[in-house]
Amino acid sequence: MGSIVRLRKMFGERVFVVLLLAGIAVANPVMADAPNVVVSIKPIHSLVASVMKGVGTPHLLLQGSASPHTYSLRPSGARALEQADVVFWVGEVIEHFLIKSLPSVATTAQIVELMEEGNIRVLPARAGGTWEAHAHKEDKHDAHGHDKHGHADHTDEHRDGHKEAHAHNDEHAEDKHGHDKHAHDEHAPEQLDGHIWLDPRNGAAIVEVAARVLSTADPANAVNYHKNADDLLARLSMLEKEIATMVAPVKRVPYVVFHDAYQYLERRFGLNAIGSISVHTGRAPSAKRLYELRSKIVELGANCVFSEPQFESKLVGTVVEGTEAHSGILDPLGADLPPGDDAYFRLMRQFADSLTTCLGQQS
């Protein structure tokens, strides 16, 4: 206390206050300003927000229950893109509304198209609206996909089921990143399945991409991004094991989805989807398709038909009419979830809850 009085007498009141504030600033350095980050859809936004936690908050373009296939960019979204330093999106197969907007509006931003990132697993879209029941084989890998030596495996489970996933019957080999080698080389974007976030391991890969990109764009906060990413990867590993345990009792039960958005989830957890109501997004299925699906439901004893908040659900009633199948809801975007760093985890647990609740019902 005596030293403070002496300083005041020595430098005067004003100089003392300046010195005091300078000392506080040194003791508590101000965090560098966060970059302006824009993310297209809620699941990806959640993962990026988790990487940015404590640094800043990314802007979410697509709000509520709108579908990215039919969404129109709003003025607020256009302004966010104009000011963006970094933009994360899945790719043109999902966010149709960004195909023209990104090059014309986000002119100064770094554009990160996740489907083009090498460590993210991309699958070809399935042909047709009905598929044969998958014969998922058991192997020596645990629920997290590691062998007894702790090494992650992507080969067997990626190859398994390719015959029913493609119109042709050749079994595609994978490249070193776990992709189907033909996915980018022989398929146009619309022939790829863009719902990459529904595999938790792709979620982990997205986190790694976000940490790398943000650390390069904003080196001052790189330590925070990498620490958040490490914490998030541990949570995602636990989430995968949790979901695997939840769906294990119903993984063989056949079901039908509204549109083919869940292949990544099915492959990761060995689920048994047998078809989709809608063959082409935004196009009503034909009477022939509905008849084929109803016949498949009866033939294979499908227990559930799932609708989605983003699309017309009356068709589900038409499909299950005259069968013993139940109806449920699956939401690939988390329409009813508040955006934020926990939305991805809530979305994935919501999937597990919806599947186990509907598939566990007695016919």
Residues 263 and 284 in one domain: yes
Q: Please state the pTM of the whole predicted model.
A: 0.76
Residues 330 and 294 in one domain: yes
Q: What is the pLDDT of residue 123?
A: 94
Q: How many domains does the chain have?
A: 3
Residues 180 and 75 in one domain: yes
- Give the list of residues 6+ apart from residue 275 with CB closer than 8 angstroms, or none: 129, 130, 131, 256, 257, 292, 293, 296
**Domain boundary residue among 243, 267, 301?**
243
Residues 225 and 253 in one domain: no
CB 78 within 8 A of CB 25: no
CB 36 within 8 A of CB 218: no
For residue 159, being part of any structural domain is answered with no
Residues 203 and 311 in one domain: no
Residues 215 and 318 in one domain: no
Residues 252 and 228 in one domain: no
CB 123 within 8 A of CB 193: yes
Q: What is the CATH number of the domain that holds 220?
A: 3.40.50.1980
Residues 188 and 257 in one domain: no
Q: What is the pLDDT of residue 187?
A: 53
Q: What is the pLDDT of residue 85?
A: 98
- Give the list of residues 6+ apart from residue 83 with CB closer than 8 angstroms, or none: 36
What stretches in the chain show pLDDT beneath 50? 7, 15-22, 24-30, 133-183, 185
Host domain of residue 3:
1-30
Q: What is the pLDDT of residue 258?
A: 80
Residue burial 215-227, b: 16+ Cβ < 10 Å; e: rest: bebbeebeebbbe
Q: What is the pLDDT of residue 18?
A: 45
